[in-house]
Amino acid sequence: MAIEGLSINLATVRKQYDMKQAVDACLKQGITAIAPWRDQVHAIGLSEAARVVADNGLRVTGLCRGGMFPAADAEGRRAAIDDNKRAIDEAAALNADCLVLVVGGLPEGSKDIVHAREMVSDGIAAILPHARASGVPIAIEPLHPMYAADRACVNTMEQALDICDLLGEGIGVAVDVYHVWWDPKLDQQIARAGAGGRILAHHICDWLVPTTDLLLDRGMMGDGVIDLKRIRRTIEAAGFHGPQEVEIFSAENWWKRPGEEVISTCAERFLTVC
């Protein structure tokens, strides 16, 4: 029996499966939407990954990840732009709904977050023509402020949407509840994103209390404090009805469990708490 509206981000089972194995495990649970990471695609080869997607009639709700634009010198910035263009080509080959961007933090030795954000905007502007020509929407994923220095200097929906408004068509946002659930402007900014047709993805997990590792201790839906149903209602009211994509990094819990158990739990929690 197919489970409509659920996608599994393959980071959730990256320690248990390669991409082909993860697809097989998802299909056994009736899940026909996935979001692979580029290293998982590279491990089996892009042509094989595209074949797996096509042969199984899968929806790819996003390819993770592009971004990482800020760099200490022009050579580093050019290298990031070139890599993002390759990521766009990979997303196109997989017929992905979007390429998800984790935009990057401060360059080594820098304390200038304003300039880092300018480099992000400039980097996205440089890849947008290629993305538009390839038919691949670009999704900025704002990350929790705890990642501002090393992973993403775009930390709120408002910041991400300001970039979208500046750069025009072909760009939107990935709404990851782990990163934005706390934002007092969240409802307002989801409505803003929806009005512009800029919601491209919806990622779900939960925020545990206590959280023992800010990167690798995400919770299974229902085990933490995020009001997942309320956020989903807000997203749907804004016009997005695409899949909810489970993305869980869990070094000491879910990555140590059998992959079949993880995916079946994702399916059960999606049906009961999301």
Q: In tens digits, what is the pLDDT along the chain, a chain of 274 residues?
A: 689 999 999 999 999 999 999 999 999 999 999 999 999 999 999 999 999 999 999 999 999 999 999 999 999 999 999 999 999 999 999 999 999 999 999 999 999 999 999 999 999 999 999 999 999 999 999 999 999 999 999 999 999 999 999 999 999 999 999 999 999 999 999 999 999 999 999 999 999 999 999 999 999 999 999 999 999 999 999 999 999 999 999 999 999 999 999 999 999 999 999 9
In a domain? residue 1: no
Q: Do the beta carbons of residue 244 and residue 270 sit within 8 Å? A: yes
In a domain? residue 82: yes
CATH of the domain at 231: 3.20.20.150
d(CA 235, CA 39): 30
In a domain? residue 121: yes
Nearest Cα residue to 205 out of 252, 254, 162: 254
Domain count for the chain, please give it: 1
- Angle at which helices 113-134 and 74-93 cross, to 10°: 40
Look at the chain and count its residues. 274
Residue 12: give the domain boundaries.
6-273
Q: Which residue has the tokens 């946002």?
A: 173
In a domain? residue 35: yes
